[in-house]
Structure 1
């Protein structure tokens, strides 16, 4: 099929070619022409095409596309009234809800820089990041006021509030109330989103995400993950993370209904899928793990047959998690391998995951992936090297002026992996995670995937530590399932039957829980040290 034919096929499926009243189609086209691809054009074009369709369902109720568009315009005016100008930075610390969406789109519409902060940001991190990025305004949910107590209160605006919200602080909804909902002119500078990397080893870095210049990235994404127009999407992955944001932003072109909850509750997710006949669920792998652990009686009583897509990313799928999930629910997992900086690298669909558990999948439309050796040349199929990628999702560099390294015109992902004979990618782990134990190269993920399959283990992470005899050895941090018991000898014996000798853990520590961030990544700097 030609590139044009493929593009038309995908565009038709996601509803971009769906017939609508002529004046509404013209209105949507004018928004795209005015703003170009991005959040403002996405919201206003959806409002022009389907004004009365529900855009957001959250704990505050329902909001149509027309109502959302008006609220964005009102809050854009509120930001301008507070002195926000094109190029100014606005820090945002919030969960998934309508005010988060309104804030992001309004700041972009005003030509500002949205600084999306992780909800696990500490008081010192928030203060340092806001100062480093020269934020002129800080918008936080009420629950994060303690984290923001070092911020000048004159800069604070509340997003989500409860009944006991401080009366001396303005709110997103309060500032917007009563202001005109008239459209705004295009600002002198294009709005920008800064996503902060997970910060698992130090202070998070701000990564600039450049918005697509054309439809090619959308066609690549929707060609690999079969979203359809005007469907209902339960967006459980956090909006401040690149995966949640990507699914929200790209799906604006499909004019869906988003179901947003401030906190992830696996049983609530199942109820939302059933009640709203949701076709898609956006998660990180840790959420899938929590869903397979739901009471079997609850799973049996809940009808999730409408679910066609479980879009997952953010961290590695541990062990056989994808197949266990699909056995319980529907064959719907599409696992996205990529990063904030790279965009996508590969995507594995249900068939890939059934036939080759653990695979990261295949490169989507217009994506080039090569495995390069230390000499910078491509290695033969089956051999391990560093994964490099090129696609249509440009990376704007870090806000400190640095960027990722490139080779052969492709971005270095920092991960190590190989392709199998069917062209499917397998990721061994981070290049800097590799442990050399007794002269053998070993990646922690091999042991993690083995141990997570133990019936008494609910969570595990493996890392390398210095060792006088072997140079480095692997150690395991294990969370035992409630009501079960396990010893260090049990873990060692189990590992010996499933991994190579040099991948067996030298020590095991048992924890009540692993220190994970909201996207499921283990914060390794927070792990206790072995004595």
Structure 2
């Protein structure tokens, strides 16, 4: 990526606006000294715009960048005082609040590796992950007291309230020097098919990753950004990084609630929102709001990632909220892969969009050759932040430096499409079947609220499809009607052999459907 491109995008997004020369110099020196990780991005923002509100927290109110940096540095000193050393791993089990942001930035500044724990983990899962990640300690919100009891005795457990008391009593910290080796942030995979794995986030080496995103998604310097996506996972964490880089004001709620999020967009006059698709689905289930676009006049961006949308949903959302939706197709391992703009989704509501600047995406066959347009193959991706491997030492398939996303997809008329997970495809009676084909059909049925179709073993056909459906309130539908609907619109071999009706689909904290739990219900 050329310096000309970087400068042009930064200027377009308001990042090169004039300011006090001494603050601009301090900003650049911070990046030179600390790099482009969380510690460096926080410092550049604090030195350039110290009085700018960094975070609006629903419980603690507003905190400026200068005060956020001061709190972060006190945390760094407190970690040292408690005996933490560079390279040790500290687990953080927390919801979206400013205290979690302070811990993330404070740990990074003294070289401590921070493992971001999924708030949806059970006590047993948490204990397994803590052992696998070799945690020295776990810092957790008080509400998780009930799930930390099975942790190994070698893990020191620290409650949020105790930590906050120690922090409030701590003296002002001296100015820190960067550690010899910066702390890593380790993000867990979704764990939809088993125990979550740890994937270390790379520290950006320059402006490239930032430019790749904001060139396509029109965020601007000093925007107000509601981050509803969990900051312990890739998308919420990325939103926080982007916000620091833009010296934006982050708006946080501990828990997502559809009406509260919708109200915050208006009350705080937010310019952007970062969410996961299921959150928007829940917001769209609220009563229609014909005047909403006018009342949300500042809203330019609703950026989502994490899972596919139901067929046609993107068009319905934009019809109510305006052409503000940007959907990033990515993964913990590959970071971003494609971004779909409102224009892309108006052409085809189901597209994943196109690769952003600096990203290479190829669709390969079983012999690692590129497939022709329109043909389905395995999706491989390369960019500046592709992971180096899991913390366990395992990795994913790589071809010519490109990492496997684990998905199947195709390209049509220049737009990329995801056809499903490569391990989701089943062979039933000798025919290849993708569950997403059936899901896309059933979600359009007026009685269906949400649906997941999974493959399960079958003694006669090898595998068969099972559909799990949650109905809209006040609607009825029988299993035979579901099968007949599929039979009328799709080939015979994709008709589900069984249909199960559920109150809601099981999801993890990042909104992804837990297919393993659905399969476990079938005996």
Mapped to 1, the partners of 2:360 and 2:165 lie a distance apart of 44
**Aligned-residue offset at 1:239:** 0.3
Map 1:257-268 → 2, pairs under 5 A: 257-268=249-260
Deviation at 1:320, TM superposition (A): 1.0
2:375 counterpart residue number: 383
1:125-169 deviations in Å (ceiling 9; x for gaps): 22222222222221100111111123459822223x5xxxxxxxx
**Normalised TM-score (structure 2):** 0.96
Show the 5 A alignment for 1:408-419: 408-419=400-411
Distance 1:262 1:438, change over 3 A: same
Q: 1:483 aligns with which of 458, 468, 474?
A: 474
Residue pair 2:55, 2:62 contacting (<8 A) in 1 also = yes
Q: Give the match for residue 17 of structure 1.
A: 16
1:48 maps to what in 2?
47
How much does 1:48 deviate? 0.9
Instruction: Determine the structure 2 residue equivalent to 1:244.
Output: 236
Task: Check conservation: 1:435, 1:443, Cα contact below 8 A.
Answer: yes
Give 1:302 shift: 8.0
Between the two proteins, the alignment pairs up a number of residues equal to 520
**Residue 100 (structure 2) pairs with residue 100 (structure 1):** yes
Residue pairs, 1:179-190, within 5 angstroms: 179-190=171-182
> What is the CA deviation profile of residues 354-411 of structure 1, one whole-angstrom value per residue up to 9, with x for unaligned ones?
1012111101101111111111111111111101111111312101111111113311
| Aligned residue in 1 for 2:208 | 216
Q: Spell out the pairing of 1:120-519 with structure 2 (5 A cutoff).
A: 120-151=120-151, 155-159=156-160, 161=161, 170-172=162-164, 174-296=166-288, 300=292, 303-421=295-413, 423-519=414-510
Name the CA distance, whole Å, in 2 between partners of 1:192 and 1:72.
Answer: 16
The answer for the alignment partner of 1:166 in structure 2 is: none
Task: Tell me the residue number matched to 1:26.
Answer: 25
Alpha-carbon contact 2:293-2:321 (below 8 Å) kept: no
Residues 229 and 275, structure 2, Cα contact 8 Å, conserved in 1: yes
Find the aligned partners of 2:165 and 2:36 in 1 and give their Cα distance.
Answer: 26
Q: Distance in 1 between matches of 2:211 and 2:155?
A: 43
1:297 positional shift? 5.1
Give, in angstroms, the shift of residue 500 of structure 1.
2.5
Cα distance in 2, alignment partners of residues 463 and 416 from structure 1: 16
2:136 and 2:155 in contact (8 A); partners too? no
Q: After alignment, is 49-58 or 180-189 more displaced?
A: 180-189
Range moving further from structure 2, 225-234 or 128-137:
128-137
Aligned partners of 2:294, 2:371: CA distance in 1, in Å?
Answer: 48
Residues 473, 299 of structure 1: CA spacing in aligned structure 2 closer, same or farther, 3 A cutoff?
A: farther
Residues 301/309 of structure 1: CA separation in 2 closer, same or farther (3 Å cut): closer
CA distance in 2, matches of 1:87, 1:77: 16
Q: Deviations over 1:34-62 (max 9, x none)?
A: 11111011111111111111111112211
Classify 1:284/1:132 alpha carbon distance in 2 versus 1 (closer, same or farther; 3 Å): same
Q: Is the 8 A contact 2:137 2:157 kept in 1?
A: yes
Gaps of at least 5 residues in structure 1 are 162-169
The 1-side partners of 2:17 and 2:169 are apart by 34
The answer to whether the 8 Å contact 1:315/1:519 transfers is no
Q: 1:65: which partner in 2?
A: 65
8 Å contact from structure 2 (residues 425, 433) kept in 1: yes
